Structure 1
Amino acid sequence: MANERLTLLIKVQKEREETLQAQFVRAQQAFVQAEQKYQGLADYRTEYIQQSLQQGSAGLGGRQYNQYVSFISKLDQALTQQGRVVQQNRNAAEQRRQTWLKMQTKRKALEILVEQARQKEFQLAEKQQQKLADEYAAQRFYQRTKQTEQF
């Protein structure tokens, strides 16, 4: 009876664990996507600065220079903002991973309890069977000795 309850509890824990694992996978994917977006912005910023330098060597007007500086500033802001998103997604993924691992640990502990209970039941059944076999052998021995005494 207790084993059945524990087995049911393990089943529920496995379902929760699978849900938590799926949440972790989604959070990890969101982190990777955010990181890729950040890297794309950083690469674009680098390319834009290189283009600006090439065009600047040919000579730039004041207005065009201000536009370049303004756009680079906007790219820096976007990188800072995307960096925060990356960090938030990294933290969320790590938190979900920890939650998933805790659930996994709980499930494994329950499985160990169930296995120990099964082993105890098996040992008790084995002892009872041995006891019955010993009693049967003792009765047979007693009956044989009684029969030989009669003759």
Structure 2
Amino acid sequence: MATARLQLLIKVQKEREENLQGHFIRAQQAFVQAEQKYQGLANYRTEYIQQSLQQGAVGLGGRQYNQYVSFISKLDQALTQQGRVVQQTRNAAEQRRQSWLKMQTKRKALEKLVEQAQLKAQLADDRQQQKLADEYAAQRFYRQRLLAEQLPSE
């Protein structure tokens, strides 16, 4: 009876674990996407700076120079903001991973309890079977002995 309850609890734990695993996978994907976006912005910034340097070698007006500097500043702000997003998604993914692993540990502990309970029940059943077999053998021996005593000796 207790084993059946534990099996039900294990089933619930497995469902929760799968749910947490799904949350972790989605958080990990969000982290990867955020990191890719950050890398894309960083690459774009580098290319833009190189382009502005090439343009500067040819000659830039004051207004064009200010536009390049202003845009690079905006790219820096976007990189800083995306860096925060990367860190937040990394932290969220790690928290979800820890929750998932914690639930996995609980489930495994419950499975171990069920295994131990089943083993204990099997040992008790084996002892009972042995006891019955011993009683049967003792009764058989007693009957044979009784029969041997009742038979006339020749």
TM-score range normalised by the length of the shorter chain: over 0.9
Whole-Å separation in 2 of the counterparts to 1:79 and 1:125: 68
How far off is 1:63 after superposition?
Answer: 0.6
How far off is 1:126 after superposition?
Answer: 0.4
1:48 matched to 2:61? The reply is no
Matches for 1:1-150 after TM superposition, within 5 Å: 1-150=1-150
Structure 1: which 5+ runs fail to align? none
CA RMSD of aligned residues (A): 0.4
Whole-Å separation in 2 of the counterparts to 1:63 and 1:98: 52
How far off is 1:11 after superposition?
Answer: 0.4
Count of residues in correspondence between the two structures = 151
How far off is 1:41 after superposition?
Answer: 0.1
Whole-Å separation in 1 of the counterparts to 2:69 and 2:99: 45
Tell me the SS of whatever aligns to 1:60. coil
Give TM-score, length-normalised by structure 1.
Answer: 0.99
Whole-Å separation in 2 of the counterparts to 1:135 and 1:2: 30
Runs of 4+ aligned residues of structure 1 deviating over 6 Å after TM superposition are: none
Whole-Å separation in 1 of the counterparts to 2:75 and 2:141: 97
Whole-Å separation in 2 of the counterparts to 1:56 and 1:144: 116
Percent identity for Structure 1 against Structure 2:
81
How far off is 1:149 after superposition?
Answer: 1.0
Whole-Å separation in 1 of the counterparts to 2:94 and 2:3: 34
Give TM-score, length-normalised by structure 2.
Answer: 0.97
